[in-house]
Each structure stands twice: as structure tokens, then as C-alpha cells.
Copies of this chain bind each other. A is one copy, B any other.
Amino acid sequence: MAQQKHFTLEEVIPGGKNYKKLQPQNMHLQWHGNKLVRIEKNTCAFYNGKGQWEQLFSLEEITSACKHIKSLDYASFPEKDIPVVCFHTDSIYIEYNWKNKEVLTQKKFRGRQHRDVSAVSKWMAYNLNDNLYVENLYSNEKRQLSQDGSHDIVYGQSVHRNEFGIVKGTFWSPDGMRLCFYRMDQSMVPDYPLVDISSRIAVLQPIKYPMAGTESHKVSVGVYDVQTKKTVWLQTGDNTDQYYSGITWSPDSKKIFLYNLNRDQNHLKLWQFDAATGTLEKTLYEETHPKYVQPDHGLTFLPWDRDKFIFWSEKDGFDHLYLYSLKEGKVIRKITDNSLGVVLDLLGFNIKTRSVIICSTGISPIQHNIFSVSIDKDMHMLLGGNTGVHGGQLSANGTMLADTWSSPDVARQIDLINTASGKMTKLLAADNPWKSYAVPEITSGTIKAADGQTDLYYRLIKPVDFDPHKKYPTVVYVYGGPHTRLVEASWGYMCRGWELYMAEKNYVVFVLDGRGSDERGLEFENVTFRHLGKEEMRDQIKGVEFLKSLPFVDSERIGVHGWSYGGFMTINLMLTYPDVFKVGVAGGPVIDWSYYEIMYGERYMDTPQTNKEGYDESNLRLRAGNLKGRLLIVFGYNDPVCVPQHTLSFIRACEDAGTHPDLFTYPGDGHNMIGRDRVHLHEHITRYFEDYLK
């Protein structure tokens, strides 16, 4: 047998020098209309349907037409029907017709942020010096839409701190002639004083940070008409303590739909506005819940019927798709039945078969599989394999699907699938990137949650040189919070690189997705309402009980590690079960939910005023004196998410209580360490466990 290689942090941590080497082969694919295009640095080719890739153009050709393009990586194909490739980087926008070998338009940018182009009208919206502009990429005509943009008044950017599925602040109408945009007045929100220490003398780097229970920003929605050059404002009423999400245009560009959610996040309204006047025309739909409602997805109109759209709701306990008729003014069908599990993604439609292509947990809670689901009838069909974790891209007419997937034993595969027949063609089967390495045994299974009923999925990694007669130190890696899960049936059960590394250093690593985590439905998640941490810890302790039942786990040497919500969990577990965990490493932790932001925080915790007990119970400062084992807390010195006040106030509380955590920080970094710092971080974390858990 050949000598097996050992994983290094430079190989297994993103940002490591040899990280790419251990990533499975991939293909960068995009649909150009109904043609599948493969983008490589030096060439773009399309799939001819007969097993071959035929070159469309080379980098050389593009560079000779436009010297600013040094790689084809940024190529995109927003035009369905003409041979045009677009390059839109941080500093340039280019459209090139590769048939005519002609540059159609070319623009350079400086300081223009949040750029958003209508592929139809070629108007681009952007933000410059805090104000909103539009500019025509062909005519070069430029217009300033706002005048009072500032640190306090934000235009055309994501609002509500990216909660409710909001990731941007401009929305072109389908005809590209109207721009819907957010305006956020955050003048009443205090600055959190972050500090940049990299300048000659350290300087303030203030961010607006609305903390739970305090006054919140006010958001309004404007609509600019390119033809009339006028802006109207959607007549939403008093914007105090209101959230607006899911902004969607009607296919005819005349109506705007959005969700209105109250600050308490328990009463949702779907509103219809006239885009020309801003008039609120109708409340189409309402949903309430004693805990919270999450309007994270916009509407999707049927391509063949402009009267009907699909919306998402968890009202039956799981995310599902519903069909709404504007004419009838009501929900007319639930499209996805509960056998499809939790719907995760809506990829598009096969127009011919009148079906919607979705991704869901229909086969297993730890899988993502793709289904074609009839809009009209209770019928669905699995597309692609029935194992693993799949994600897809649909052709323009929805007849073909590029399905990229992996499973515990398959590093990556890409199949081209006919969405009507289900017929598959394999485009890529990646080699096992770990094949020359000593790989630990990675298994997954279920245990019962602390409620005695619910199945929870775990991942267990054994030491590389496993000896069943030995007892090993064991690290529990934890997240525990909503909207994330760590165990899935993808390559190596989604084992993180650091876990491979720790297995090599003779640790057992264990990861359990407890109640409160993602993709298991509403009740699984909202059991944590108003007392974050409590049920999540009970489930993690079930995991520890399971670990202790394993003969090779050393019960005296159990450590815990987690980041963000997982940092909160790590410290909470150390303080709540001081005799269980000998060592903990917490990163960017929440210490006190009243220091967290309004949108996320109040959804789960209500306000400090209305839920004092819950806030106190989860305030780790109040239990700083319980610290017994060794605890390292690491934070990004410029973290705008879990602001440094969390960690620093906990350190202060420990000092006052006479306990001794350890501390580390990455100046200049935000909530997560990326690049080289991520490698350094994992060296640091590993050293801590080696110092105190070995």
C-alpha cells in the first residue's frame, strides 16, 4: 500500500494555500437560453447534446476586443436569443457579440456600488456617495434619483439587515422602465462604534446597529419611472415598526406586490400596489401565527398565466408552494403536498408540462432532491438521483436541468436531465479528491431529541488511526441556531475540513443538528421561541449522552466549539454544564440577545421589555461565575453582526465574577475570518484543544 498523505490546514481550510487541490472537480455552467454553456478561464463552449462541447469564443478573442478582460470567469449570458456575452465586474460592464465580433457597449465604473442592470432596457441602477442613480448602458444618459442619501438615509440597498430574504435594494420592472427601490431612514438608530486600527491613528468606523427593544429604522419603497422621470412612493401608511419584503413586479410591469410584516413578526399581509401611482390597491392575503411568520420569498408568476402566482408559506408546518389567482382573489391550490418535505428552492417551470421544478427534502430530511411538480394536478416526479444533495439550473424553457450533486460517497457529479422524461446524461463525475489521503471514518445517524420523539441527525468522525480499545478526546462542533444545519447527505456528510484535521490528530468529532435548526419545519424550529438556547442545549446534551455511550469516547475529555450562534451555544453549554465540557472555543458569540439586532433577535425573543425572563435566562453575563473549564473566545474586531460588545462585556463579567476565560481577536475582520486568517484561526483553535483537551 502506498503511504497515505495527511491533511494539512493549508489543504482543508478555505483560504489555505492548497485548499483548491482538495476540492472536487467542477464545471462552471450557465444557460444561454436553452443552450448549456461551460465557462472556463480561456474558453466558453456549449453542449451540443451529443456528448461534445463546442467552443463559442476564446479569451484571446475577447481580450483582443477588450483589453480589460483577463479571464472569462465573469462571463454571463443575460440575452436569451442573441449571441451576446456580458462581462460585469467591479469596474467594468461589457457586452460583446461573438458572432459579429462586435463590442456592443463598454462602460467603466468608479465607486458605483449595488449595481443592478435591466437586461431588457439596459438601464443600470447604482449607488454613489449614498445616493441612487440610474444610467443607460447604451445611451450613457445618467440621472440622480435621490438627493438626501447619507449615513442616516440609505437608498437602493438591502434593508432590515438582510432578514426576510432581502439581499438587495433595487428591483427593475420586467420591461426595465420602472425601478422599485428601498429607502431606509436610520437616523434614529444609534451608531455602534467600530474602530479601524490599521490607519496612522486608529479611526472610528461607525455602523448603524438597531438593538433589540430599541427604536428601529423606517423603510419606504419608491418607484421611479424612467419615462416620466418621476418617483412615486408606495402608500404603505405609517412606516414605524413595519417590515417590507418579497418585492415582486407583475409580468406586465404595472403592479408591485410585497409583504408587510408588523414588528412583532406575527401578522403578515400581502399587498398589491399600482406602480404608476403608488396606491395600495388590495390586501391579497394575510397570515398570523402566535410565534412568528417568515416572509422570505417573493412571488413567482406562472409563465403561461399572468393571473396566477406562486407564493410560499409555512402555515401547514413546512415551507410549501401555493397557487394564487388574482382574478379570484384567493389561494386556489396547494401545489406541493407534505410528502415533498420542506420546499427549499423554486428553480423554474417546464412550460410544456405545466410543472414547477423545485428542490426539497422530499426523500430525506438530510437530502436535497429535485422534483418536477404539476401546477394543476397532484403529481410530481423525481428528477435525478434519489440520494445526496442536489442543486440545479434550468434552461430558459425549463425542458433541461443541469443537476449538480454530491452524496456521502460521491464528491461531485453533474447530470443533464430532461425535465419531462427524466432522462439523464452524465456531464461530470469528479474524482475522489481525498483518495491518496488517510481519511477518517465519517458516519451519520439519528438519536432522539430531548423531547423523546424527534429524530435528530448527527455526523460522527473517528480518529484516523482508530483503535476501538482506546479512549479519545472528543470535540462537539455546534451551531444550533435557526436557518442553518450542519449534517446533510452530501460529500462526506458535509464534514468540515477542520474535522478531518482533528481526526488526524486523534480526536473524535461530533456534530448534531438539534431542534431549532433548519429544514425540519416550523415546529422543529420555533420550539426555541422566547428562550433561545434552552431546548438547543437539551438536545446537545442528548448528543453528549450518546457520545458517552460509545466506548472510545473519553467522557473526561469532551470539548465544544462553535461560531456565532454556535459561539453562544458553546459558552452557554460551558456555563450550564460545567462538569460536562472541559474545554470550549467560542467564536463571534452572542452573549446577550439585547445586544443583537431587532429583526432577527425579536423574531425569536420578542423584546427585552416584553420577555425579560427570556433575555435574562439567555444572558451569559449573568452566569459568568459558572465558568470552570477552559474557554477561548475569538471575535472579529470589526464584527458588524455580533458586535464586539458581546464578547467584551462577557470578559468584563468574568473579571467581575473572578473567572478566567481566554480571548483572541482578529483586527480588521468581521463576523467570520476569511482567507489567510481562517487558516490562522484554525491553527489557534487546534492549539487550544491540544493545550487543554489532550
- Give A contacts to B, CB under 8 Å: 190-193, 195, 197-198, 200-204, 206, 209, 211, 214, 595, 637, 643-645, 648-649, 651-652, 655-656, 658, 660, 662-668, 676-677, 680, 683-684, 687, 691
Establish whether residues B649 and A667, one from each chain, have CB atoms under 8 Å apart when the complex forms.
Answer: yes
Q: How far is the CA of A677 from the CA of B691 in the complex (A)?
A: 26
B190 touches A201 (CB 8 A): yes
Most buried by B among A192, A655, A666: A655
Complex CA gap A674/B197 in Å reads 26
Residues of B within 8 A of A192 (CB): 201-202
Number of identical protomers: 2
The answer to whether B644 touches A202, judged by C-beta atoms less than 8 angstroms apart, is yes
Which residues of chain B are within 8 angstroms of A662 by Cβ–Cβ distance? Answer: 662, 664
Question: Contacts of A200 on B, CB cut-off 8 Å?
Answer: 211, 214
Cβ B652 vs Cβ A198 within 8 A: yes
Inter-chain contacts of A203 with B (CB < 8 A): 193
Contact present for B660 and A663 (CB under 8 Å): no
* A693 vs chain B, min Cβ distance (A): 14
User: How many Å lie between the Cα of A601 and that of B681 in the bound state?
Assistant: 34
- Contact of A651 with B667 at beta-carbon distance under 8 Å, contacts A202-B644, A660-B687 already known: yes
Task: Please list 27 pairs of residues, one from A and one from B, whose beta carbons are closer than 8 Å in the complex, sorted by A's number.
Answer: A190-B201, A192-B202, A193-B204, A195-B644, A197-B644, A197-B648, A198-B652, A201-B209, A201-B595, A201-B645, A202-B643, A202-B644, A202-B645, A637-B648, A648-B665, A648-B667, A651-B664, A651-B667, A652-B666, A655-B676, A655-B677, A655-B680, A656-B676, A658-B680, A658-B683, A660-B684, A662-B664
Given A644-B202, A656-B676, A676-B656: A197 and B665 interface contact (C-beta under 8 Å): no
For the complex of A and B, the 3 pairs showing the least CB-CB separation, nearest first, are A193-B204, A652-B667, A202-B645
User: Interface of chain A, helix or strand or loop or mixed?
Assistant: mixed
Q: Tell me the complex Cα distance, A651–B651, Å.
A: 18
Would you call A666 and B676 a contact (CB within 8 A)?
A: no
Contact A645 B193 (CB under 8 A): no
The residue that A193 contacts in the complex, of B195, B198, B687, with Cβ under 8 A, is B195
Tell me which residues across on chain B come within 8 A of A644, comparing CB atoms. Answer: 195, 197, 202
Contacting residues, chain B, for A683 (C-beta < 8 A): 658, 660
In the assembled complex, which residues on chain B have CB atoms less than 8 Å from the CB atom of A204? Answer: 191, 193, 204, 206
Contact B666 A663 (CB under 8 A): no
Beyond the given A197-B648, A197-B652, please list 6 additional residue pairs across the A-B interface where CB-CB is below 8 A: A193-B195, A193-B203, A197-B649, A202-B644, A648-B667, A652-B667
- Give the shortest distance, in Å, between A571 (CB) and chain B (any CB): 16
Q: Distance in Å from the Cβ of A509 to the closest Cβ of chain B?
A: 22
Q: How far is the CB of A341 from chain B (nearest CB, A)?
A: 41
Choose among A195, A595, A683 the residue with the greatest number of B CB atoms under 10 Å from its CB: A195
Kindly name the residue among A191, A202, A651, A668 whose own CB sees the greatest number of chain B CB atoms within 10 A: A202
Known: A193-B193, A202-B643. A651 touches B665 (CB 8 A): yes
Question: Closest approach, in angstroms, between the C-beta of A682 and any C-beta of chain B?
Answer: 11
Q: Which single residue of chain B is at the shortest CB-CB distance from A210?
A: B201
Q: CA A645 – CA B203 in complex, angstroms?
A: 10
Q: Contact partner of A666 among B201, B655, B668, B691, CB < 8 A?
A: B655
The complex places the Cα of A644 from the Cα of B201 at a distance, in Å, of 11
Give the distance in Å from the alpha carbon of A687 to the alpha carbon of B659 in the complex. 12
Chain B proximity of A251: nearest CB distance (Å) = 45
Q: Please name all residues of chain B whose beta carbon is closer than 8 Å to the beta carbon of A209 when the two chains form the complex.
A: 201
Chain B residue at minimum C-beta to C-beta distance from A196: B193
A291 to B515, CA, bound (A): 70
Inter-chain CA distance A667–B650, complex, in Å, is 10
- Report the minimum CB–CB distance from A429 to chain B (whole Å): 37
A656 to B681, CA, bound (A): 11
Closest to A209 in B: B201
Which chain B positions have C-beta within 8 A of A648? 197, 637, 665, 667
Residues of B within 8 A of A190 (CB): 201
What residues of B have a CB within 8 angstroms of the CB of A195 in the complex? 193, 195, 644
Closest to A630 in B: B691
Contacts of A201 in B (CB 8 A): 190, 192, 209, 211, 214, 595, 645
Q: How far is B197's CA from A645's CA once the two chains are assembled, in angstroms?
A: 6
A204 to B687, CA, bound (A): 35
Q: Which residue of B lies closest to A608 (CB)?
A: B200
**Closest Cβ–Cβ distance, residue A647 to chain B (whole Å):** 9
Residue of B nearest to A649 (CB): B197
- Write the nearest CB–CB distance from A126 to chain B, whole angstroms: 31
